[in-house]
Amino acid sequence: MKVRGDRECQDCGTRWAYYETGSVECPNCGSPRSVGVDEERRLHTATAAPLDLTEVQSLVDEQPLRTVAERAVETAREFTRGYGFISGGEVQPLDDTYLAAMELRMVADTVGRATSVTDDEESYFLSLLAGAGDGERPAREQVSDSLVDSRGLAYARGVEEYREDLRTYLDEHPDETASDQLGRLRGHVKRALALDGAISTRAAETLVEAARGIGAYVADGDETTLATTESRLDALEGLPRD
């Protein structure tokens, strides 16, 4: 959507940047009565809400693993559902915190629904829970075999959300080269989603790298990223398993 970046409270006169808070409520008095004061509206899909996993982390030593996993799913889902990648008309990167939250959402769902959980699965889930709030994800070599699909699905969904925001931006700022690359990326993402994430961890990472390359080109016009992105898209043909 397009919004005005600066708002003014009609009760106390305080001005603030909507792009930073993501709220129409006055940060000074809490009044919901505010108006946009910029003449220009800009594309804005980003959220200012952080990924706060403190409450979920506090349950690890107090509640069954299933309960912890269910709460992790709820928190990660709420964060990722409202996320966006355009801030004040500028394209943002596909960041690690979003990817970690998306993976936590998928892994926690798998763990929470399992009839039994292995030590490796529990360890991986708890490691992801501990670091996701800071954008930390275990290396792909550490992914338990039974959770490879969860990571693949998380990355595919995350890349698709990012691709959609890039598409929205390009509707207003057309670029044939970027559009062509997004089309190729979309084909790979569709296959990954159709496979429910059953792709190799290497392919999942390459999906992310390709999306980031396209995003960097769209944001900065850096043509040096194009060749690398093309090779990454080429490498995704077939999306093989490890």
Tens of pLDDT, residue by residue over 42-91, are 888 888 688 999 999 999 999 999 999 999 999 999 999 989 999 989 99
Same domain, residue pair 86 and 156: yes
Q: Kindly state the average pLDDT of the residues 230-236.
A: 91
Tens of pLDDT, residue by residue over 3-57, are 776 788 887 878 867 777 777 788 888 888 788 777 778 888 888 688 999 999 9
Same domain, residue pair 110 and 215: yes
Total domain count, the chain: 2
In degrees and rounded to multiples of 5, residue 23 shows phi and psi of -135, 145
Same domain, residue pair 67 and 16: no
Q: Kindly state the average pLDDT of the residues 87-110.
A: 96
Q: Compute and round to an integer the Cα radius of gyration of the chain.
A: 20
Same domain, residue pair 147 and 215: yes
Is residue 171 included in any domain, yes or no?
yes
Is residue 137 included in any domain, yes or no?
yes
Same domain, residue pair 75 and 31: no
Q: Against a cut of 0.85, is the pTM above it?
A: yes
Same domain, residue pair 29 and 75: no
Is residue 95 included in any domain, yes or no?
yes
Same domain, residue pair 33 and 88: no
Residue 131 has pLDDT above 50, yes or no: yes
Q: How far is C-alpha 121 from the geometric centre of its chain's CA atoms?
A: 23
Q: Kindly state the average pLDDT of the residues 195-201.
A: 94
Same domain, residue pair 77 and 172: yes
By CB neighbour count within 10 A (0-12 exposed, 13-18 middle, 19+ buried), where does 227 fall?
exposed
What pLDDT does 241 receive?
A: 45
Query: Domain range for residue 137?
Result: 53-238
Mean pLDDT of the chain: 91
Same domain, residue pair 68 and 21: no
| Distance (Å, whole) CA 225 – CA 214 | 8
Is residue 48 included in any domain, yes or no?
no
Lowest average pLDDT, out of 18-27, 156-165, 224-233, goes to 18-27
What pLDDT does 1 receive?
A: 67
Q: Kindly state the average pLDDT of the residues 124-137.
A: 96
Residue 242 has pLDDT above 50, yes or no: no
Same domain, residue pair 89 and 17: no
Q: What is the CATH number of the domain that holds 9?
A: 2.20.28
Is residue 58 included in any domain, yes or no?
yes
Same domain, residue pair 110 and 38: no
Is residue 189 included in any domain, yes or no?
yes
Same domain, residue pair 67 and 39: no
